[in-house]
Amino acid sequence: MSAKLRRCDGCGKRSFRPAPMLRDEVWLKLADEHDTLCDKCTWRRQRERHVSITINSLKPCPVNLARGWFNLFARLVNAPPENIAEWRAIAFDPWVLFRTELHPWLDPDGAAPRARNQFSRWLEEQWLNEQEAAR
């Protein structure tokens, strides 16, 4: 079974940069529930439909952190989002840590590099254990 690339429901392209994951109440102003939009179609619809998209519009999820959407919107405001605790709860996911630098609102103590190094050491130990077990 082969994976099928999703098509942007706005422009029809199959190869595109995904738009940020938005809260349902914001997304439904731009598209149907199960639609997929590229970032260009999202911004075009946002302008055409006069939909405000702010940092509080972002859905707290690893994809928005790893793809840099949180950091982009954070640069535009002076205060953390209302749901900063939700963002902090997912910020130290290894998948996120290895794909982006965390915004200071997410890592006020600067612990991310230590967490990244600790996880790297753990991975290396696991790999070495697997190599020894295979011998």
In a domain, 119, yes or no: yes
What are the pLDDT digits (tens) for 44-65?
999 999 999 999 999 999 999 9
In sequence order, the β-bridge partners of residue 58 are 22
Alpha-carbon gap, residue 109 to 89, rounded angstroms = 15
In a domain, 123, yes or no: yes
In a domain, 39, yes or no: no
In a domain, 106, yes or no: yes
What are the pLDDT digits (tens) for 75-99?
999 999 999 999 999 999 998 988 8
pLDDT band at 1; cut points 50, 70, 90: very low
In a domain, 43, yes or no: no
What's the sign of the alpha-carbon dihedral 105, 97, 100, 15?
A: negative
CB proximity list for 53: less than 8 A, separation 6 or greater: 20, 22, 26, 46
pLDDT band at 2; cut points 50, 70, 90: very low
Residue pointed to by tokens 């965390």: 102
Q: How many domains does the chain have?
A: 1
In a domain, 45, yes or no: no
pTM above 0.85, yes or no: no
Residue pointed to by tokens 């911004």: 43
In a domain, 109, yes or no: yes
Residue span of the structural domain in which 76 resides: 54-134
In a domain, 92, yes or no: yes
